[in-house]
Structure 1
């Protein structure tokens, strides 16, 4: 079977008692991937290359119209973050980001150069290009993050980063946390508000929301497809199922398809699943990011990571779609372009 590839430009700026369970905070998405400067965002998406190790018959889909704006922080600013904490942000010159989503949103606002430190397991080019890389775990704790020397911490998960932010503030460093269960547009608005650039954030979020709406129209004839998104970048670099509060969840909602992870009430990138449970969900389509495929090393590694998925209806029919990480794993400016690309890819695989 021939490999299919789709590069799509946007036209506008069960009661699963099958081994799936609610996700613990440690299973939340903390890595939720793009260019080193906002001016390069659209170009980077347009140049998205099909993975060299894309298995025969799998589909690669990528959007090519990623919106961006140019903003300049207006500080100090008083905000209420995703944990309900009142914070005064005074210095954003060296931002420690909690994950790729925060980094990508900053990039979309034209502020990628403010990203000073990012997690070591990042997929975003903005995060990877940060001057400092850190590993956050129960072993390293907040002390390791404080030693990085940033001026502002922006966490991306209230369950995982709420206490971390509180410790930052206790040490005299500004810290806020984005509510990870918000929509992508609201996450963009939140990050923008932390830097006093609400108007720019609203513009960027509106562009992404418009693309998601366009994708919804494109997908109107798809019917009830069951999509299972998996990743190699759960907490601690573990294999995981993608659930609520993620870019994949937003995209699935926009397209009117069923996200297996959301249906099972899994939060973020969750490790709370069983191979038998995944087999029983009977997905029509499997979805993953390019960094996941790279981490697994191709088909053999994917099969080793999720032994039962090739036996599901999606696996048996070879209905597997691979997308750029910033378009399907990261809640940021590229989500809308990714949604449109996925809508067209799903329509093609359903034929």
Structure 2
């Protein structure tokens, strides 16, 4: 594994575009054929669209309320009603979907890409320039945040207004994120089952990666919609980073001490990190408009071993980008795809 490199930019003058402020199936049920949406922009020669499959239909939560929980901020909350849940992100929405609780989702962000979020009855925009008044007006019975730094104060305002609210710890392992969400809706047992399913898939994927002899490779995940909706590199706390490290590869973002989806990278740093593989989601690829848009967003990425060798994989968003139970299937798909590289 490579050690000691960094893609963090020293100043914004060096940074790339966007610098600024911030029952279940067994592992054998997953294939690496592309199972995501049909891309509107054709892939360049040598690039691959990959993905796995999962079936959570046998997992069905039986919520027991009220339930007392301690959320990711260390706050003790008594949750009494989950009929109208306001979810802060796609990971929360997809986990509720896997638990059979899609119909309990009342509101989700307007930029949702998870089907469960897209189909929510109400949508909202939340950012630095918007407050929680609009969220409170949606008359939800429970708010679930997905980032302790971003949603801690929001949850507090919900509770002050008499609405239960919790925040998931975004830096914990994926299995714990799934279990946390399940516990918030009084379905801890279903959460354990869901986590076990994903653990089995991740273990199977790690075995494939080890047997391939390719664990010395480094992988970078890039996105068009990271911090502040800008071009970013995935670091610690992101599902993609967890997949990469679980498989035994070197994560460029983690090695560069990036947290979440970060814009703190530079042209020089991208070249120095010399990733062997590039991964991105389908929505990112389409937002960039294809290959030219990617190279414009990251001008030196095509000079890296991954760019020169077209070792580039496009994956379903649920299997790479957000904290979905689908990341187990994504890990299996990535391990098998990397194993086939020359």
Same fold (TM over 0.5): yes
Indicate yes or no: 2:126 matched with 1:125: no
1:10-60 deviation line (CA, Å, top 9, x unaligned): xxxx44455358xx9x64xxxxxxxxxxxxxx9xx9843452422222111
SS at match of 1:62: coil
Alpha-carbon spacing, 1:320–1:126, altered in 2? closer, same or farther (3 Å): same
Contact 1:46 1:64 in 2 (8 A): no
Q: Which residue of 2 aligns with 1:63?
A: 52
SS at match of 2:50: strand
Indicate yes or no: 2:256 matched with 1:264: yes
Question: Could you state the TM-score of these two structures normalised by the residue count of structure 1?
Answer: 0.86
Alpha-carbon spacing, 1:100–1:312, altered in 2? closer, same or farther (3 Å): same
Structure 1 counterpart of 2:66, from 43, 56, 76: 76
Unaligned runs of 5+ in 1: 1-13, 28-41
Which range moves more in the overlay, 256-265 or 144-153?
Answer: 144-153
Cα offset, 1:144, TM superposition: 2.6
Question: Could you state the TM-score of these two structures normalised by the residue count of structure 2?
Answer: 0.89
Unaligned runs of 5+ in 2: 11-18, 23-29
Q: Which residue of 2 aligns with 1:222?
A: 214
Partners of 1:342 and 1:100 lie apart in 2 by 21
Structure 1 counterpart of 2:276, from 280, 284, 287: 284
Structure 2 counterpart of 1:106, from 75, 85, 96: 96
Q: Which residue of 2 aligns with 1:31?
A: none
Q: Which residue of 1 aligns with 2:295?
A: 303
Structure 2 counterpart of 1:241, from 227, 233, 240: 233
Q: Which residue of 2 aligns with 1:11?
A: none
Which range moves more in the overlay, 263-272 or 63-72?
Answer: 63-72
Partners of 2:79 and 2:111 lie apart in 1 by 27
1:228-266 deviation line (CA, Å, top 9, x unaligned): 001112133111111111111221122100111111121
Partners of 2:168 and 2:89 lie apart in 1 by 11
Structure 2 counterpart of 1:273, from 265, 269, 273: 265
Contact 2:86 2:143 in 1 (8 A): yes
1:39-94 deviation line (CA, Å, top 9, x unaligned): xxx9xx98434524222221111101243511132211110000000001111111
Indicate yes or no: 2:200 matched with 1:210: yes
Partners of 2:258 and 2:139 lie apart in 1 by 34
Indicate yes or no: 2:306 matched with 1:317: no
Count of residue correspondences: 320
Partners of 1:47 and 1:277 lie apart in 2 by 33
Cα offset, 1:138, TM superposition: 1.1
Contact 2:221 2:234 in 1 (8 A): yes
Contact 2:215 2:247 in 1 (8 A): no
Partners of 2:287 and 2:336 lie apart in 1 by 26
1:90-123 deviation line (CA, Å, top 9, x unaligned): 1111111111111111111111111111112221
Structure 1 counterpart of 2:8, from 9, 16, 19: 19
Partners of 2:195 and 2:137 lie apart in 1 by 33
Partners of 1:111 and 1:260 lie apart in 2 by 36
Cα RMSD for the two superposed structures: 2.1
Q: Which residue of 1 aligns with 2:13?
A: none
Partners of 2:7 and 2:321 lie apart in 1 by 25
